[in-house]
Amino acid sequence: MKVLVAVKRVVDYNVKVRPKSDGSDVDLANVKMSINPFCEIAVEEAVRLKEKGVATEVVAVSLGEKVCQEQIRTALALGADRGILVETSEKLQPLAVAKLLKGIVEKESPDLVILGKQAIDDDNNQTGQMLAALTGMSQGTFASEVVIEDGKAQVTREIDGGLQTVSLNLPAVVTTDLRLNEPRYASLPNIMKAKKKPLDTLTPEELGVDVTSKVKMLSVEPPAERQAGVKVETVAELVEKLKTEAKVL
């Protein structure tokens, strides 16, 4: 069974993001970049499937600038077998990503595609669903457990109010939720070994996909600063302030 994992390069989750001074975008100058945390969980799940003897090959895919190779190498150090970079300098929207991944699915014919439920930079939560729709594959989103048996994927999903288990025909698209697993750290020997693993590069043109963005970003602003609170001595004072200052009563 072949597993394809999509890994996105994003600002590290420990970094406090700041807009550029002209508000045109997030400032990425000298900012630490990492694999999107949900994609790290996706890699871990694929590697565990390989360790269990369920998967035979894990292929990590990233789409974006050449530097995305770093995140593919991290996925290789965590246990993926080979990588594919779709290189483009275009700012990719989820639909373009889904179309490019569809192109790779057609080339690679994986039995399972695992993506993060969302990328923590744009918070779209769209790509997995779009990929499933474009390819006609079954989908199990927000997975907290994935079991492959009898040629099917049993996916436990985190939904409002509890857990839902769905049985998917393969090939299928699964997106990861936080509780699916706890990703391992890459060991130094594995980081060294990852440098020798194969990494192919493709272009959107080779996959026949027009990645021109249909969405224009108008501005990026930090959230409004929270005002300091005040302490009141009595309930009467609170009610008074709610009436006269907050004007909510």
- Binding footprint of ligand AMP on the chain (CB under 6 A): 6-8, 36, 38-39, 42, 62-64, 92, 94, 97, 115-116, 118-119, 122, 124-128
Phi, psi for residue 175 in degrees, rounded to 5: -115, 145
Q: How far is the CB of 38 from ligand AMP (least distance, A)?
A: 5
Residue with the closest Cβ to ligand AMP?
116
Which helix (H) or strand (E) segment holds residue 39: the answer is: helix 37-51
In the bound state with ligand AMP, the residue whose beta carbon lies nearer, of 212 and 234, is 212
| Total Cβ atoms within 10 A of residue 208 | 10
CB of 168 to ligand AMP, least distance (A): 18
- Report in angstroms how near the CB of residue 233 gets to ligand AMP at its nearest: 47
Cα 207 from chain centroid? Answer: 21
Rounded Cα distance, 18 and 25, in Å? 9
Please, which residue, 64 or 79, has the CB nearer to ligand AMP?
A: 64
Q: Select 125 or 167, whichever has its Cβ closest to ligand AMP.
A: 125
What 3-state DSSP class applies to 86?
Answer: strand
Closer of 75 and 243 to ligand AMP (Cβ)? 75
Residue of 93, 89, 100, 109 lying closest to 131 (CA atoms): 100
How far apart are CB 125 and ligand AMP at their closest, in Å? 5
Token pair belonging to 18: 């700041």
